[in-house]
Structure 1
């Protein structure tokens, strides 16, 4: 009996000691001075961003010696899939570079950072920019810059064809006007190859999304979650694209053109205009021209012209814009409140005034007053590109995903992946007609979107 009592007492003491140690560990983990590691997955945002990021991380770690920042630079091609796998497994990085996405929030792992936002931080953001990283009124990310999609032209080719690109930058152009221009820009070159009016790639949805937004459709759904791609507007848009291919203004092999090939054709003078040309092309092409002068690259030097996307003849002009920056995540095995606070501290630091260099390098609108002040007078883009970008920003189309219920946004993403992508490729290859595709959109929307 005494032995049993003694054994029970020993077990109780062991359990109490274990619990005490566990409590100490938990308290230590949630202490502001505890050692912590924050993981950051990002992309080569601009040509020297990796070096820029190293500098920011080094400065942060000097100021916060208890926090280690572990970064990984992903490739644009494979990074999104790698992140999706990690997110679905419940182990995303603490910070991920992307636009805020309703599908991320829908997982329950996106971190609401409102509790950590101070008035000083909020007031530093320019009007309307913080909202570009909110879903349902909650802040899930901090923008680093405002992205902007446009088209880009080769100034020499445009001027040789008598195209008034300055007027287009200021006043925009309709689909009819673009079609007339594309006819002037398309011709046979001395080496027997074709100079096309326009080139796009056949693998992404950027092209169709830019055009539908310029024909009265903000996205597959509108801000209220109502299906848009089921009436004459989508048929008109698809027909506009088909006519450009049928008339030879775009390559007939568009379905097989990868993004890199699209750029190569533009650089080689085989296309007068390239689709989805962000203002950063101005800096990229100037750097390429320097490399040509230095003998590092062979080819013709190009003067870049930023162009707005043409709009439907009866529709208003719209510029695809939003914000990209860092989104905060927690993991399935939650690391605690102090880790969340540390995550936010890193996030804010990687989005600070000095980090505004990303906007400057990309020739994109700043998101913070401190960034605009720090880089005032140091603009890298040409005055023409900066002016055209500002003019295009007047017609901003804010992403509808910021207004949609997260479950609805997830369904729309699935619809694009499973329905829109194969249909657009079928359009490029001539396998399906615009009318057939429009009917398929409407039919599948009933099945997948309930509309």
Structure 2
């Protein structure tokens, strides 16, 4: 009898194993750690996720309504409350909310170490780890733009790119092979040779400059120093690096542009709006800090000219990379970074299900259809699914879209996201108090490149050691 009982017990074990194996083959039980977040069993308790965003492009509110409707079709229990802030007042409103300990669950912007120092920025690594499809969908180097200190706090909607842009007519008249520049990049000496052809007196007696930029920010300085092989004033480990010949060379190049008349003598006082006005008026062949979205902006301006709404010359826009030092090999470095949705918790809150719901909304707002933002802004997509969704629907001219993709492949890392919060704060202070006045002094001819470089070095060693 005991033998029969033992046999029966063994048989039952075998049956249980067989059933379990059969269940495994059915595909109903995903491999551990591989289950997409959106396929896990969901808590359907009603919840509200608050989103603060901006008019990312002219039709962005239409986009977000569609994205939320699609999300609610799958998760009707999660209400998404969104508010579109103004670019002028929004950052201040968010800072007030963050300092009060009550930020929205999701905020649109670029990653900032100061958010992390508040203790309210929410790491999403654990949620992303179980959403393999989402993680693999992002193109190489894109997720890193929304990390700080190696932790993921957000998902990018697009990557911003700053380059130079040109008036095709003026390039053609000067015989400039812009296609070669787009394909291979160019060096500072090569740009100066081109600049000689672009500088000339116009029939009305005014000057046509090779290049125009503004002197009210240090964006131009960033682009030039990064193309001298200096990723920032400090490297990714926080070590001060503006202490050798490379910073002198960068400042000499900038000084030459003004002294030799390739940029206006009054560059130091030019505001961004004046820079754009000069480019539109044909007074400058090339404009600095030009983004791929100029393709759409200028196309719309051309339509307004045709419609008689404004007067001026229609322009065909050409996107160009920033030239680099001859001592630096490669294509040239692009300044830019990721912008998207960053997750936050509120002071004293610790609802795990709400955090998961926040991540689900973040996924939805940066998914395939959300690629319309990159499409509208003429930027390369950050996700494979976005590129597939908008294949053949691109708004940028192919010649400019292709160079934008090459520029993204050479995007400079954002050092401020890899160093600690205190060093990042000191770097910000150094940029405002030391970099900006010395850059402007070189533009104005008030300091030699060597003198400015020495002050940048001395104060940098004091502030960023």
Report the TM range for the smaller structure's normalisation. Answer: 0.7 to 0.9
Matches within 5 A, 1:254-269: 254-269=267-282
Q: Distance in 2 between matches of 1:313 and 1:89?
A: 50
SS in 2 for 1:326: strand
Q: Distance in 2 between matches of 1:370 and 1:139?
A: 20
- Give the equivalent residue in structure 1 for 2:149: 136
Q: Distance in 2 between matches of 1:275 and 1:135?
A: 29
> 2:197 pairs with 165, 175, 184, which one?
184
- Give the equivalent residue in structure 1 for 2:182: 169
- Give the equivalent residue in structure 2 for 1:6: none
1:32·1:338 contact (CA, 8 Å) conserved in 2? no
The offset of 1:170, in angstroms, is 1.3
Matches within 5 A, 1:265-284: 265-284=278-297
Task: Name the TM-score, length of structure 1 as normaliser.
Answer: 0.86
SS in 1 for 2:289: coil
Q: Distance in 1 between matches of 2:375 and 2:78?
A: 31
SS in 2 for 1:249: coil
SS in 1 for 2:461: helix
1:48 aligns with 2:59: yes
Quick one: structure 1 residues 229 and 43, their matched pair in 2 at CA, closer, same or farther if it must change by over 3 Å? Answer: farther
The offset of 1:256, in angstroms, is 2.0
Residues 304-356 of structure 1 show CA distances to partners (whole Å, capped at 9, x for unaligned) of 11111000121232222432211112233436334333322222211011000
- Give the equivalent residue in structure 1 for 2:449: 434
Quick one: structure 1 residues 136 and 379, their matched pair in 2 at CA, closer, same or farther if it must change by over 3 Å? Answer: same
2:44·2:77 contact (CA, 8 Å) conserved in 1? no
SS in 2 for 1:261: helix
- Give the equivalent residue in structure 1 for 2:48: 36
Q: Distance in 2 between matches of 1:414 and 1:331?
A: 28
- Give the equivalent residue in structure 2 for 1:415: 430
The offset of 1:35, in angstroms, is 4.4
Quick one: structure 1 residues 132 and 66, their matched pair in 2 at CA, closer, same or farther if it must change by over 3 Å? Answer: closer
- Give the equivalent residue in structure 2 for 1:444: 459
- Give the equivalent residue in structure 2 for 1:27: none
User: RMSD in angstroms over aligned alpha carbons?
Assistant: 2.2
1:393 aligns with 2:408: yes
Matches within 5 A, 1:144-293: 144-293=157-306
- Give the equivalent residue in structure 2 for 1:17: none
- Give the equivalent residue in structure 1 for 2:10: none
2:198·2:208 contact (CA, 8 Å) conserved in 1? yes
Residues 385-436 of structure 1 show CA distances to partners (whole Å, capped at 9, x for unaligned) of 1222233334332222333223322321222122222322233233333223
1:381 aligns with 2:396: yes
- Give the equivalent residue in structure 1 for 2:108: 97
> 1:306 pairs with 319, 340, 349, which one?
319
Quick one: structure 1 residues 286 and 39, their matched pair in 2 at CA, closer, same or farther if it must change by over 3 Å? Answer: same
> 1:402 pairs with 408, 417, 421, which one?
417
Quick one: structure 1 residues 382 and 238, their matched pair in 2 at CA, closer, same or farther if it must change by over 3 Å? Answer: same
- In structure 1, the gaps of 5 or more residues are 1-30
Q: Distance in 2 between matches of 1:246 and 1:79?
A: 40
The offset of 1:173, in angstroms, is 1.2
The offset of 1:85, in angstroms, is 4.4
2:240·2:461 contact (CA, 8 Å) conserved in 1? no
Residues 220-272 of structure 1 show CA distances to partners (whole Å, capped at 9, x for unaligned) of 11112111222221121112111111122111222222222211211111111
1:342 aligns with 2:354: no
> 1:320 pairs with 316, 325, 335, which one?
335
Quick one: structure 1 residues 394 and 338, their matched pair in 2 at CA, closer, same or farther if it must change by over 3 Å? Answer: closer
